[in-house]
Chain A
Amino acid sequence: MSQRGGAQRPNGAAQGKICQFKLVLLGESAVGKSSLVLRFVKGQFHEYQESTIGAAFLTQTVCLDDTTVKFEIWDTAGQERYHSLAPMYYRGAQAAIVVYDITNQDTFGRAKTWVKELQRQASPNIVIALAGNKADLSNKRMVEYEEAQGYAEENSLLFMETSAKTAMNVNDIFLAIAKKLPKSDSGGQSGQRPQPGVRLNEQNQASEGGCCK
């Protein structure tokens, strides 16, 4: 089940459409958001992955049949205090991965809050995936697979348990998102960059305090 190395890169043959999607990762601090991105983009795992301040940005391309899907990934800071930064990143995002840590029940609760917020505030067509990370630590599991799966079904989320450490389901979850994203010719977002640079002075709904509004 586990794979090593990054996701498939486009092979030389220039075929089909190119789609570009903005994806955001949300979830409590230290659940492994940055680790998932690093695994997906570079095929690496750093045990001492630095904490994220503000947000980090990376891109990765995957091939789906005849379509090349380019992800522009915003990896956000998990600490609750940075919450007010998040809208800047999920606004205009076509996909989101909400991550929790299967060994920590609180992080699952936090994931649910994120899902709620996305459903309320993000663009209505956003594809949301729920990732139960650190699946390699199943002996310390605190969140049951069935519980999370049930929740995901109720909310029509994609769901997988992942491990950035072993690479389990990491590419798969991104691929599953890519499959679910609309790739119509017109709305293929190709070349149309999402707007991460929304001016921050724009009115901002989620706004109690925090770093940047």
Chain B
Amino acid sequence: MALGKAQFGVSTFFAASHSNDKCGANGLPLTPNSIKIVGRFQHLKTLDHHHICKYLDCVRGRHERLMIVQEHYTNNLNLGWKTGKFQSEDNLVKLAFEVLQGLYYMNQHEVTHRNLSMDNILLDTEGKVKLSNFGMYYMTNGGAYVSFPVGQMCYMCPEVICSGPVQIDEETELPVLPPSGPKVDVWSLGCIALELISGMKLWEGVSNQQIARNVLVFLKPDCDVINSICTELKCVEKLQSLSPYLNDFIRKCLTVDPTHRPDPSELVHHEMFTVHKLKQVSPRNGYHLFTSKLRCKDLELPELTENDVELDNDHLSERNMEEVYYLWRLAGGDLEGVLKKAGMIKAKPPVTILPSLTLDNGEVLGQGRDQMELLDETVVLLSQDQLRQRLSDIDEKSYYKLLEDESTITEGLPSSPSNVDLNDTASLPLVIKEKDVEYQFHRVILYERLINGYPYKKAHIWKEARVDVPPLFRNLVWAALLEVEGDIQAQYDSIDKETPIGTDRQIAVDIPRCHQYHELLASPTAHAKFKRVLKAWVVSHPEYVYWQGLDSLCAPFLALNFNNEALAYACIKAFIPKYLHKFFLKDNSPVIQEYLAVFSHLIAFHEPELSNHMEGIGFIPDLYAIPWFLTMFAHVFPLNKIVHLWDTLLLGNSSFPLYIGVAILKQFHDRLLSFGFNECILLFSDMPVIDLQQCVKDAIQIFCNTPKSATYRQHAKQTPKKNETRPNVSYYSRDYNEKPSNELSMEPLTLDELRSEKCPRISAEDLLELGEFIGNANTRSPTKKRGNGKPLLLVIDVRGPDEFKRGMIPGSVNIPFQSAFSPEGDLVTCPAVTTLKQSKSLVKVVVGSRGRNASNFANELVRLDYTRVCTLHNGIDVLRHTGILSVPPPEI
């Protein structure tokens, strides 16, 4: 929903704290209630209706404090009722109707207000009802997570007063008795209506105990509730003077027996509203990104009226409320600061909150809270001035960015009239960019349009994602990069996630150990979602099984799509075949072994010295890299780092993770070289802090310096893409295996072959392409000449001189294997060796005929710390038909 004239308000309360020594059934400390509340709160953020206030944020402070941010209006019924406006039947009916619509909407989304009062019925600038604070009962799990009662006593219906405080089953987190349902709010509405009619407050100044007694009297069979409340409010005649419809409505609201009391879904159809010609405004056609329905069906374009012509200058108000709040925080918005200023968080000198006694088991006694645990419902306004100030220089055109003009894509980012060149910002470190309000403003506007244009704007999204991904839309951008499409909700719903399966125990023990420092993932709500998504994947992929680690892999998607399990599932479902094809087979050994062997080759190719050292001490990838690749690093880095890593990973092809692995080793190059086995393995047992941005940069660079066929794996996904929809915007997104193969391509190698060779093999195709040989028409590699004409590779022919003279690759040097090495293992000097030594940075392709000479020679070069050594798969023979072989020029 657009911001409009809404304000942001923050309120605060404390979750009930557990006593220090209390443990759950598993002997481990209980999850703090504040975490449970944060978990439940997330659902509230999805509620969007014109008669309820939007929930925006729930932040944990110290000592179990929670700060809730909601759409807010300063006017409310408590202020408005004294005007007498609602004593008019028309206005009252309209008000009741709007309240009911809000209630009905939240009921449809499993939320019961249970806290309806005059303070919580806000009135926006046009006087329309906006229900506020309706999520307290929901987020606190019926009040179980707080030590104050939710709801005002005087509006509580008899059954609520009778039921007493909620009890929660500790294992399941479910209430022992069913929680209050929608009908309780109807009672409250009845009370409020009578108050408005009478112009008086019910039981003002009466103690809660007395109120309870008063309400319990209503339970007597012969009690006339309406009459006794009206007598109390001195409005018996007043009510009688109003329409029979209204009288009937109120009688229905104040039905003592809940089974006879209607709920909001029934009451919105009450005759009273028909008589007043009030119609429900159906919420604007919700826009869904992933659906098989026609997205533009029933699309109504707003009609411009006379008034609209004078366009409002407040462009920010047209932006989505969540987005504005996001920017508000970036612009320095500080909830705790605001609350402190308002006196809602009182800073006490620390000495006053010291416990009087601490036992040696850690239990403390006599520790004063820095504030009461009771509820103070005050809402403090969050001023938008600072944000508006920060955005004041932004040209209004930037608010309405046009995408159709493709030329702007190539131009890069727009330059802002505020003279902050966005291109400059774009090159800053990620952590800075992500905090820069103006930069994020532009990114958010652009991406919002792109995402709305998905999948048609796929190419553009890929392009922008190479610059960066704005945190606000990361989940959707990732889904777009993973090419998630179709009715994902229906797919997800069709999967049985409840029936017990054999993997349940493992999933159940893994989830509470997976990224639990992350406050969203640590909540019971998260655990339940986590379980469903994992089970959904396991159940719908019978060819695969659950391997420990799948949980870590799932965590980033769940954290980003907390309110959209279906999307989290769709993403993991698309991610696994792309990067972890066959990794979750029951017998994944050949797959992983091949992967690790290729990884070893890559290390030797780029870091021969390190490779020699690690081999020498027995520090092999099998011992440290399985958690890296099996979880795409999600098991070894914290979530805030994984997202940045995956922002790039998702743009890469299926081999890209291998390059990230090499980049990580590269970052620890010096340390690893100086370490022995134990230190090396200890280093990676607990992944040390790394500079991820550097790592990603290195990985891209390493990628670009590696012939594509070097990472050929027979177990990688083979099927070439049928109808190519993905734009070819990303040079490193293509997979070797996606190209059709021919006799010049790579072929499967056995594990033993892979392991006996230190270096990667490359295909003849790659040789031709990199060497810029114009081959026959049968090569599919586009052979474009590079501008500077500098060679990329050096071909080393290790056959005997006679064979070499009969046909050689143009430009290759001949170092016959038999005579190449001295007994000490050094290269024997000769002109060809000199050329080799001068070609440090080139890719060195060792070519032989059949037999092991070439790979042995290459192994020796690696041993001598030569970088970028590879061999030609199938040797010189594969080139016979290409017509590129020639005879060497006669030596002079």
Quote the shortest CB–CB distance from A202 to chain B (angstroms): 11
Residue-wise, chain B 312-352 has the 8 Å CB interface mask toward A (1 for contact) of 00000000000000000000000000000000000000000
Q: How far is the CA of A88 from the CA of B618 in the complex (A)?
A: 12
Task: Give the chain A neighbours of B618 by CB distance below 8 A.
Answer: 195-197
Within 8 A of A (CB), among B257-304: none
Q: How far is the CA of A81 from the CA of B624 in the complex (A)?
A: 18
Contact of B620 with A212 in the complex, beta carbons under 8 Å? no
Q: How far is the CA of A53 from the CA of B886 in the complex (A)?
A: 53
Chain B residue nearest in CB terms to A75:
B685
Contact of B592 with A211 in the complex, beta carbons under 8 Å? yes
Partner of A48, one of B516, B592, B630, B631: B516
Residue-wise, chain B 615-634 has the 8 Å CB interface mask toward A (1 for contact) of 00111101110110011000
Asked whether any CB of chain B lies closer than 8 Å to the CB of A137, the reply is yes
Contact of B29 with A47 in the complex, beta carbons under 8 Å? yes
Contact of A197 with B677 in the complex, beta carbons under 8 Å? yes
Q: How far is the CA of A136 from the CA of B751 in the complex (A)?
A: 47
Partner of A49, one of B513, B547, B551, B681: B513
Contact of B27 with A212 in the complex, beta carbons under 8 Å? no
Q: How far is the CA of A78 from the CA of B635 in the complex (A)?
A: 16
Task: Give the chain B neighbours of A49 by CB distance below 8 A.
Answer: 513
Chain A residue nearest in CB terms to B627:
A53
Q: How far is the CA of A81 from the CA of B549 in the complex (A)?
A: 12
Task: Give the chain B neighbours of A134 by CB distance below 8 A.
Answer: 27
Q: How far is the CA of A210 from the CA of B547 in the complex (A)?
A: 10
Asked whether any CB of chain B lies closer than 8 Å to the CB of A145, the reply is no
Binds B, one of A5-13, A54-62, A172-180: A54-62
Asked whether any CB of chain B lies closer than 8 Å to the CB of A149, the reply is no
Q: How far is the CA of A201 from the CA of B552 in the complex (A)?
A: 28
Asked whether any CB of chain A lies closer than 8 Å to the CB of B48, the reply is no
Task: Give the chain A neighbours of B510 by CB distance below 8 A.
Answer: 29-30, 51
Task: Give the chain A neighbours of B678 by CB distance below 8 A.
Answer: 57, 59, 72, 193
Decide yes or no: A211 and B588 within 8 Å by CB, A50-B514, A53-B630 being known contacts.
yes
Residue-wise, chain B 470-487 has the 8 Å CB interface mask toward A (1 for contact) of 000000000000000000
Known A54-B627, A211-B588; further 12 A-B contacts with Cβ < 8 A: A47-B28, A51-B549, A53-B630, A57-B623, A82-B548, A137-B27, A196-B681, A197-B619, A199-B620, A209-B586, A212-B592, A212-B626
Q: How far is the CA of A54 from the CA of B681 in the complex (A)?
A: 13
Where the two chains meet, the residues of B that have a C-beta atom closer than 8 Å to any C-beta of A are 25-29, 506, 509-510, 512-514, 516-517, 522, 545, 547-549, 551-552, 586-589, 592-593, 617-620, 622-624, 626-627, 630-631, 635, 677-678, 681-682, 685, 751-752, 755
Within 8 A of B (CB), among A38-75: 47-59, 72
Chain A residue nearest in CB terms to B512:
A48
Decide yes or no: A77 and B685 within 8 Å by CB, A48-B513, A212-B622 being known contacts.
no
Partner of A165, one of B25, B27, B522, B682: B27
Contact of A48 with B27 in the complex, beta carbons under 8 Å? no
A-B contact pairs, 22 of them (CB 8 A): A30-B510, A50-B513, A51-B548, A53-B626, A53-B635, A57-B623, A59-B682, A77-B548, A79-B506, A140-B25, A196-B618, A197-B619, A197-B677, A199-B755, A200-B620, A201-B751, A209-B589, A211-B589, A211-B630, A212-B592, A212-B593, A212-B626
Contact of A53 with B620 in the complex, beta carbons under 8 Å? no
Asked whether any CB of chain B lies closer than 8 Å to the CB of A119, the reply is no
Task: Give the chain A neighbours of B751 by CB distance below 8 A.
Answer: 201
What is the interface of chain A mostly: helix, strand, loop, or mixed?
loop
Where the two chains meet, the residues of A that have a C-beta atom closer than 8 Å to any C-beta of B are 29-30, 47-59, 72, 77-79, 81-82, 84, 88, 134, 136-137, 140, 165, 193, 195-197, 199-201, 208-213
Partner of A51, one of B27, B514, B522: B514
Contact of B587 with A210 in the complex, beta carbons under 8 Å? yes
Chain B residue nearest in CB terms to A45:
B28
Contact of A200 with B635 in the complex, beta carbons under 8 Å? no
Decide yes or no: A81 and B547 within 8 Å by CB, A50-B514, A140-B25, A197-B620 being known contacts.
yes
Q: How far is the CA of A77 from the CA of B589 in the complex (A)?
A: 15
Decide yes or no: A211 and B509 within 8 Å by CB, A77-B548, A197-B677, A201-B755 being known contacts.
no
Task: Give the chain B neighbours of A47 by CB distance below 8 A.
Answer: 28-29
Q: How far is the CA of A84 from the CA of B593 in the complex (A)?
A: 13
Q: How far is the CA of A8 from the CA of B617 in the complex (A)?
A: 29
Query: Which 6 interchain pairs have the tightest Cβ spacing?
Result: A197-B618, A209-B587, A30-B509, A48-B516, A54-B626, A53-B627
Contact of A29 with B509 in the complex, beta carbons under 8 Å? yes
Chain B residue nearest in CB terms to A58:
B685
Partner of A193, one of B506, B512, B677: B677
Contact of A200 with B622 in the complex, beta carbons under 8 Å? yes
Quote the shortest CB–CB distance from B569 to chain A (angstroms): 21
Q: How far is the CA of A55 from the CA of B630 in the complex (A)?
A: 13
Q: How far is the CA of A57 from the CA of B26 in the complex (A)?
A: 26
Chain B residue nearest in CB terms to A166:
B27
Task: Give the chain A neighbours of B26 by CB distance below 8 A.
Answer: 137
Chain B residue nearest in CB terms to A31:
B509
Chain A residue nearest in CB terms to B551:
A51
Task: Give the chain B neighbours of A200 by CB distance below 8 A.
Answer: 593, 620, 622
Quote the shortest CB–CB distance from A203 to chain B (angstroms): 12
Quote the shortest CB–CB distance from A138 to chain B (angstroms): 10
Task: Give the chain B neighbours of A195 by CB distance below 8 A.
Answer: 618
Decide yes or no: A84 and B589 within 8 Å by CB, A53-B549, A57-B685, A195-B618 being known contacts.
yes
Quote the shortest CB–CB distance from A58 to chain B (angstroms): 6
Quote the shortest CB–CB distance from B550 to chain A (angstroms): 10
Task: Give the chain B neighbours of A210 by CB distance below 8 A.
Answer: 587-589
Task: Give the chain B neighbours of A196 by CB distance below 8 A.
Answer: 618, 623, 677, 681
Quote the shortest CB–CB distance from B89 to chain A (angstroms): 59
Which of B592, B623, B624, B635 has its CB near the most chain A CB atoms (within 10 A)?
B623
Contact of A213 with B586 in the complex, beta carbons under 8 Å? no
Chain A residue nearest in CB terms to B681:
A57
Q: How far is the CA of A51 from the CA of B636 in the complex (A)?
A: 11
Q: How far is the CA of A79 from the CA of B507 in the complex (A)?
A: 11
Task: Give the chain A neighbours of B626 by CB distance below 8 A.
Answer: 53-54, 211-212
Q: How far is the CA of A109 from the CA of B835 in the complex (A)?
A: 65
Q: How far is the CA of A195 from the CA of B589 in the complex (A)?
A: 21
Q: How far is the CA of A200 from the CA of B547 in the complex (A)?
A: 20
Q: How far is the CA of A30 from the CA of B506 in the complex (A)?
A: 9
Task: Give the chain A neighbours of B551 by CB distance below 8 A.
Answer: 51
Chain A residue nearest in CB terms to B586:
A209
Q: How far is the CA of A210 from the CA of B593 in the complex (A)?
A: 11
Q: How far is the CA of A77 from the CA of B620 in the complex (A)?
A: 18
Chain B residue nearest in CB terms to A59:
B678
Task: Give the chain B neighbours of A136 by CB distance below 8 A.
Answer: 27
Q: How far is the CA of A85 from the CA of B627 in the complex (A)?
A: 13
Quote the shortest CB–CB distance from A49 to chain B (angstroms): 6
Decide yes or no: A53 and B514 within 8 Å by CB, A30-B509, A136-B27 being known contacts.
no
Quote the shortest CB–CB distance from B725 to chain A (angstroms): 34
Partner of B548, one of A29, A56, A84, A209: A29
Q: How far is the CA of A211 from the CA of B625 in the complex (A)?
A: 12
Chain B residue nearest in CB terms to A30:
B509
Task: Give the chain B neighbours of A84 by CB distance below 8 A.
Answer: 589
Decide yes or no: A53 and B685 within 8 Å by CB, A201-B755, A212-B592, A213-B593 being known contacts.
no
Which of A140, A196, A208 has its CB near the most chain B CB atoms (within 10 A)?
A196
Q: How far is the CA of A87 from the CA of B645 in the complex (A)?
A: 33
Q: How far is the CA of A105 from the CA of B548 in the complex (A)?
A: 21
Which of B552, B622, B627 has its CB near the most chain A CB atoms (within 10 A)?
B622
Q: How far is the CA of A200 from the CA of B620 in the complex (A)?
A: 10
Contact of A55 with B623 in the complex, beta carbons under 8 Å? yes
Chain A residue nearest in CB terms to B508:
A30
Task: Give the chain B neighbours of A211 by CB distance below 8 A.
Answer: 547, 588-589, 592, 626, 630
Q: How far is the CA of A52 from the CA of B685 in the complex (A)?
A: 10
Task: Give the chain B neighbours of A201 by CB distance below 8 A.
Answer: 751-752, 755
Partner of A53, one of B512, B548, B587, B617: B548
Q: How far is the CA of A199 from the CA of B587 in the complex (A)?
A: 19
Task: Give the chain B neighbours of A58 by CB distance below 8 A.
Answer: 682, 685
Quote the shortest CB–CB distance from A178 to chain B (angstroms): 18
